[in-house]
Amino acid sequence: MSLLLSVEEAEFTFIKEKTESTAGNLSVQLDKLEKAGYLAIEKSFRGKRPLTTCKITQKGVKAFEAYVENLKNYIS
């Protein structure tokens, strides 16, 4: 989620590379985040190849901010 905060949207392959995840693991995690309403996932094609693009939602931004605040409170 923190990766998606720094970009407007990101392709699946970019997220996979940056997180060093397997395609299967990343797909499961993104699906869970989408079902929670934290991400919007768009599937399309670039030429004949499938293209999955992810974008953080406003709900996702708020949830991440709450998570960071909880971490700060825990640490201090």
Q: Where are the domains of the chain?
A: 2-75
Report domain 2-75's class.
Answer: mainly alpha
Collect the ranges in the chain with pLDDT lower than 50: none
* Residue environment code for 43-62, b if the CB has 16+ CB neighbours within 10 A, otherwise e: eeeeeeeeebbbebbeebee
Entry pTM: 0.87
Provide the pLDDT for residue 74: 94
Listed in sequence order, the DSSP H helices in the chain are 2-5, 12-19, 23-35, 58-75
Tell me which DSSP letter residue 1 carries.
-
